[in-house]
Protein backbone atom coordinates (compact mmCIF):
# COMPACT_ATOMS: atom_id res chain seq x y z
CA UNK A 1 0.00 0.00 0.00
CA UNK A 2 1.45 3.41 -0.92
CA UNK A 3 2.82 5.61 1.85
CA UNK A 4 1.92 9.20 2.51
CA UNK A 5 3.97 11.94 0.92
CA UNK A 6 4.90 15.39 2.18
CA UNK A 7 2.72 17.23 -0.34
CA UNK A 8 -0.42 18.69 1.23
CA UNK A 9 -3.62 17.51 -0.45
CA UNK A 10 -6.73 19.58 -1.04
CA UNK A 11 -8.80 17.11 0.94
CA UNK A 12 -8.23 13.94 2.96
CA UNK A 13 -7.44 10.80 1.02
CA UNK A 14 -9.47 7.63 1.32
CA UNK A 15 -8.63 5.68 4.45
CA UNK A 16 -9.30 2.12 3.36
CA UNK A 17 -8.81 -0.07 0.31
CA UNK A 18 -11.72 -0.65 -2.04
CA UNK A 19 -11.66 -3.30 -4.77
CA UNK A 20 -14.41 -2.25 -7.14
CA UNK A 21 -16.21 -5.47 -8.06
CA UNK A 22 -14.61 -7.39 -5.17
CA UNK A 23 -11.84 -10.01 -5.27
CA UNK A 24 -11.31 -11.82 -8.56
CA UNK A 25 -9.77 -15.15 -9.39
CA UNK A 26 -7.94 -15.14 -12.70
CA UNK A 27 -5.80 -17.68 -14.44
CA UNK A 28 -2.26 -16.30 -14.30
CA UNK A 29 0.32 -17.13 -16.93
CA UNK A 30 3.83 -15.95 -17.68
CA UNK A 31 4.59 -15.63 -21.38
CA UNK A 32 7.90 -14.86 -23.12
CA UNK A 33 8.72 -11.20 -23.66
CA UNK A 34 6.71 -9.73 -26.53
CA UNK A 35 8.28 -6.79 -28.40
CA UNK A 36 4.78 -5.46 -29.19
CA UNK A 37 4.28 -4.61 -25.50
CA UNK A 38 6.16 -1.36 -26.03
CA UNK A 39 3.77 -0.32 -28.82
CA UNK A 40 0.78 -1.32 -26.68
CA UNK A 41 2.10 0.94 -23.92
CA UNK A 42 2.51 3.79 -26.41
CA UNK A 43 -1.19 3.49 -27.31
CA UNK A 44 -2.16 3.76 -23.64
CA UNK A 45 0.25 6.63 -23.05
CA UNK A 46 -1.28 8.51 -25.98
CA UNK A 47 -4.84 7.84 -24.81
CA UNK A 48 -4.04 8.92 -21.24
CA UNK A 49 -2.13 12.02 -22.36
CA UNK A 50 -4.98 13.02 -24.66
CA UNK A 51 -7.57 12.48 -21.93
CA UNK A 52 -5.67 14.28 -19.16
CA UNK A 53 -3.40 16.85 -20.80
CA UNK A 54 -1.24 18.55 -18.18
CA UNK A 55 -2.99 16.77 -15.32
CA UNK A 56 -0.77 13.80 -16.24
CA UNK A 57 2.60 14.70 -14.74
CA UNK A 58 4.25 11.45 -15.86
CA UNK A 59 3.10 8.45 -17.91
CA UNK A 60 5.62 5.58 -17.79
CA UNK A 61 5.70 1.94 -18.84
CA UNK A 62 6.41 -0.11 -15.70
CA UNK A 63 6.21 -3.71 -14.61
CA UNK A 64 7.62 -6.76 -16.33
CA UNK A 65 6.24 -5.91 -19.78
CA UNK A 66 8.50 -2.82 -19.73
CA UNK A 67 11.69 -4.89 -19.43
CA UNK A 68 13.01 -6.34 -22.71
CA UNK A 69 13.75 -10.04 -22.38
CA UNK A 70 11.67 -10.57 -19.23
CA UNK A 71 8.77 -13.01 -19.32
CA UNK A 72 5.58 -11.52 -17.91
CA UNK A 73 1.87 -11.74 -17.46
CA UNK A 74 0.53 -10.19 -20.69
CA UNK A 75 -0.80 -7.12 -18.86
CA UNK A 76 0.63 -3.68 -19.65
CA UNK A 77 1.31 -1.76 -16.43
CA UNK A 78 1.30 2.01 -16.69
CA UNK A 79 2.42 4.49 -14.05
CA UNK A 80 0.43 7.73 -14.17
CA UNK A 81 1.44 10.43 -11.71
CA UNK A 82 -0.65 13.45 -10.82
CA UNK A 83 -0.07 16.45 -8.56
CA UNK A 84 -2.78 15.52 -6.05
CA UNK A 85 -4.10 11.97 -5.71
CA UNK A 86 -7.12 13.27 -3.77
CA UNK A 87 -8.25 15.47 -6.69
CA UNK A 88 -10.01 12.56 -8.39
CA UNK A 89 -12.25 14.94 -10.30
CA UNK A 90 -9.21 16.01 -12.35
CA UNK A 91 -8.18 12.56 -13.55
CA UNK A 92 -10.79 9.90 -12.85
CA UNK A 93 -13.72 11.11 -15.02
CA UNK A 94 -11.43 11.67 -18.06
CA UNK A 95 -9.89 8.20 -17.63
CA UNK A 96 -13.33 6.61 -17.38
CA UNK A 97 -14.46 8.55 -20.45
CA UNK A 98 -11.38 7.22 -22.28
CA UNK A 99 -12.63 3.67 -21.67
CA UNK A 100 -10.82 2.66 -18.48
CA UNK A 101 -12.69 1.22 -15.50
CA UNK A 102 -11.98 1.94 -11.84
CA UNK A 103 -10.71 -1.18 -10.07
CA UNK A 104 -8.81 -0.01 -6.95
CA UNK A 105 -9.18 2.99 -4.67
CA UNK A 106 -6.85 2.96 -1.68
CA UNK A 107 -4.79 5.48 0.27
CA UNK A 108 -2.27 7.05 -2.11
CA UNK A 109 -3.20 4.84 -5.07
CA UNK A 110 -5.92 4.42 -7.63
CA UNK A 111 -5.93 1.82 -10.38
CA UNK A 112 -8.00 1.79 -13.54
CA UNK A 113 -7.87 -0.90 -16.17
CA UNK A 114 -9.16 -1.77 -19.58
CA UNK A 115 -12.41 -3.76 -19.79
CA UNK A 116 -10.37 -6.62 -21.31
CA UNK A 117 -8.04 -6.43 -18.27
CA UNK A 118 -4.92 -6.31 -20.45
CA UNK A 119 -3.72 -2.94 -19.10
CA UNK A 120 -3.55 -1.57 -15.56
CA UNK A 121 -2.99 2.14 -14.98
CA UNK A 122 -1.61 2.86 -11.51
CA UNK A 123 -2.31 6.45 -10.45
CA UNK A 124 0.01 7.86 -7.79
CA UNK A 125 0.92 11.29 -6.58
CA UNK A 126 4.03 12.46 -8.40
CA UNK A 127 6.15 12.72 -5.25
CA UNK A 128 5.07 9.31 -3.89
CA UNK A 129 7.91 6.97 -2.96
CA UNK A 130 6.11 4.16 -4.77
CA UNK A 131 6.30 6.04 -8.08
CA UNK A 132 10.06 6.29 -7.71
CA UNK A 133 10.28 2.63 -6.64
CA UNK A 134 8.46 1.45 -9.78
CA UNK A 135 11.02 3.27 -11.93
CA UNK A 136 13.98 2.02 -9.89
CA UNK A 137 12.85 -1.59 -10.27
CA UNK A 138 12.13 -1.21 -13.98
CA UNK A 139 15.42 0.46 -14.78
CA UNK A 140 17.45 -1.97 -12.68
CA UNK A 141 15.86 -5.01 -14.31
CA UNK A 142 16.59 -3.48 -17.72
CA UNK A 143 20.23 -3.12 -16.68
CA UNK A 144 21.04 -6.17 -14.53
CA UNK A 145 20.69 -9.54 -16.27
CA UNK A 146 21.23 -11.62 -13.12
CA UNK A 147 18.36 -9.95 -11.27
CA UNK A 148 16.19 -10.09 -14.40
CA UNK A 149 16.73 -13.88 -14.57
CA UNK A 150 16.15 -14.24 -10.82
CA UNK A 151 12.93 -12.24 -10.95
CA UNK A 152 11.52 -14.26 -13.81
CA UNK A 153 12.47 -17.52 -12.05
CA UNK A 154 10.65 -16.44 -8.88
CA UNK A 155 7.58 -15.33 -10.85
CA UNK A 156 7.43 -18.62 -12.73
CA UNK A 157 7.67 -20.60 -9.48
CA UNK A 158 4.86 -18.55 -7.94
CA UNK A 159 2.56 -18.62 -10.95
CA UNK A 160 2.08 -22.37 -10.61
CA UNK A 161 0.64 -22.00 -7.11
CA UNK A 162 -3.01 -21.45 -6.23
CA UNK A 163 -3.79 -17.79 -5.43
CA UNK A 164 -6.95 -16.31 -3.99
CA UNK A 165 -6.54 -13.32 -6.32
CA UNK A 166 -3.90 -11.31 -8.18
CA UNK A 167 -3.13 -9.26 -5.07
CA UNK A 168 -2.00 -12.40 -3.23
CA UNK A 169 0.31 -13.28 -6.12
CA UNK A 170 1.70 -9.73 -6.13
CA UNK A 171 2.31 -9.86 -2.37
CA UNK A 172 4.23 -13.12 -2.75
CA UNK A 173 6.78 -11.32 -4.96
CA UNK A 174 7.50 -8.66 -2.34
CA UNK A 175 10.58 -10.33 -0.83
CA UNK A 176 12.45 -10.70 -4.12
CA UNK A 177 11.44 -7.21 -5.24
CA UNK A 178 12.76 -5.71 -1.99
CA UNK A 179 16.07 -7.57 -2.38
CA UNK A 180 16.42 -6.35 -5.97
CA UNK A 181 15.68 -2.76 -4.94
CA UNK A 182 18.38 -2.96 -2.25
CA UNK A 183 20.93 -4.02 -4.87
CA UNK A 184 19.77 -1.26 -7.20
CA UNK A 185 20.10 1.36 -4.45
CA UNK A 186 23.63 0.12 -3.67
CA UNK A 187 24.69 0.82 -7.26
CA UNK A 188 24.86 4.58 -6.81
CA UNK A 189 27.21 5.05 -9.75
CA UNK A 190 24.62 4.00 -12.31
CA UNK A 191 22.42 6.91 -13.50
CA UNK A 192 19.05 5.20 -14.04
CA UNK A 193 15.81 6.14 -12.34
CA UNK A 194 13.25 7.53 -14.66
CA UNK A 195 15.35 7.67 -17.80
For 172-191, how does the pLDDT look when each residue is reduced to its tens digit (9 = 90+)? 889 999 999 999 888 865 55
What pLDDT score does 191 carry? 54
Q: For the chain, list the strands marked E by DSSP.
A: 18-19, 58-62, 76-82, 101-106, 109-113, 119-125
* Sequence-ordered list of residues with C-beta below 8 angstroms from that of 182, at least 6 positions apart, any chain: none
How many residues appear in the chain? 195
Tell me whether residue 79 is in a domain: yes
Tell me whether residue 156 is in a domain: yes
What CA–CA distance (Å, rounded) separates 112 from 99? 10
- Domain at 180, CATH number: 3.30.460.10
Tell me whether residue 99 is in a domain: yes
Domain that holds residue 174: 28-186
Tell me whether residue 119 is in a domain: yes
What CA–CA distance (Å, rounded) separates 158 from 120? 20
Mean pLDDT calculated for residue range 151-172: 83
What CA–CA distance (Å, rounded) separates 126 from 83? 6
3-state secondary structure 17-61: CEECCCCCCCCCCCECCCCHHHHHHHHHHHHHHHHHHHHCCEEEE
What are the tens digits of pLDDT across the range 42-101? 999 999 999 999 999 999 999 999 999 999 999 999 999 999 999 999 999 999 999 999
Tell me whether residue 171 is in a domain: yes
What pLDDT score does 192 carry? 52
Q: What does pLDDT average to over the chain?
A: 88
C-alpha atoms less than 13 angstroms from C-alpha of 130 in its C-beta half-sphere: 19
pTM, to two decimals: 0.86
Give the count of domains, the chain: 1
Percent residues over pLDDT 90 in the chain: 68
Tell me whether residue 22 is in a domain: no
**Confidence check: pLDDT of 31 > 70:** yes
**Confidence check: pLDDT of 32 > 90:** yes
- Contact present, 109 and 124 (Cβ < 8 Å): yes
Amino acid sequence: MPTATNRPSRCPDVTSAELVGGPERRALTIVPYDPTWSAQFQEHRDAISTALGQVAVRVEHIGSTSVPGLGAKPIIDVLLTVDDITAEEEYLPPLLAAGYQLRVREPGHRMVRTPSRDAHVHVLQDDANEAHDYLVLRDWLRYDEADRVLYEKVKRSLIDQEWADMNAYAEAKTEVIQAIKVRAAADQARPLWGS
